[in-house]
């Protein structure tokens, strides 16, 4: 009996940090190994989201930084021959109490049909740090925490 898992779509949440970029390497390796699509989910942190909502953020700069980060990942995926696409979401909400970064990751995995999650495990209190424990506790998919 073949006991290997089937992986068609890998979800990797990122936040623009070096730690999340390092975790992308693992997601691309999984994508390459299983010939799976890698979906990069860029999560906006609470300070960024609050500044945008208050009209205090330079949204053009935020968009440019986000796109530059995602372009680095696209280039790396292309080098490895891994199919990749990107999306973004807010990890926090001032209007919905249940809008937690961990729920955003898990909901995104469900929406894209993700069957494997690679999660940058950060010690911080921002978006990915808050998502890590929640995703590890509640994910239905296998999770690689790096």
| pTM, two decimal places | 0.86
Residue 127: pLDDT band by 50, 70, 90 thresholds?
confident
| pLDDT tens, residue by residue, 79-121 | 999 999 998 876 555 555 556 788 888 989 999 999 999 998 7
H or E element in which residue 39 lies: strand 37-44
Question: What is the pLDDT at residue 1?
Answer: 42
Question: What is the pLDDT at residue 132?
Answer: 84
Domain boundaries, the chain: 9-145
Question: What is the pLDDT at residue 68?
Answer: 94
Fold exhibited by the domain 9-145:
Rossmann fold (3.40.50)
* CA 55 centroid distance within chain: 25
DSSP label at residue 91 = S
């Amino acid at each position: 009996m073949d006991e290997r898992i089937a992986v068609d779509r890998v979800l990797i949440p990122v936040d623009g940090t070096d730690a999340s970029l390092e975790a992308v390497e693992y997601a691309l390796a999984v994508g390459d190994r299983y010939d799976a699509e890698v979906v990069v989910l860029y999560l906006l942190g609470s300070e960024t989201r609050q500044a945008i909502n208050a009209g205090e953020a330079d949204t053009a700069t935020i968009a440019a930084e986000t796109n530059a980060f995602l372009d680095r990942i696209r280039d790396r995926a292309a080098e490895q021959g891994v199919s990749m696409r990107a999306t973004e979401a807010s990890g926090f909400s001032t209007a919905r109490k249940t809008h937690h970064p961990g729920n955003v990751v898990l909901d995104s995995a469900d929406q894209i049909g993700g069957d494997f999650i690679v999660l940058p495990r950060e010690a911080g209190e921002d978006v990915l740090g808050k998502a890590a424990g929640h995703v590890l506790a509640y994910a239905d998919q296998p999770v690689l925490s790096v």
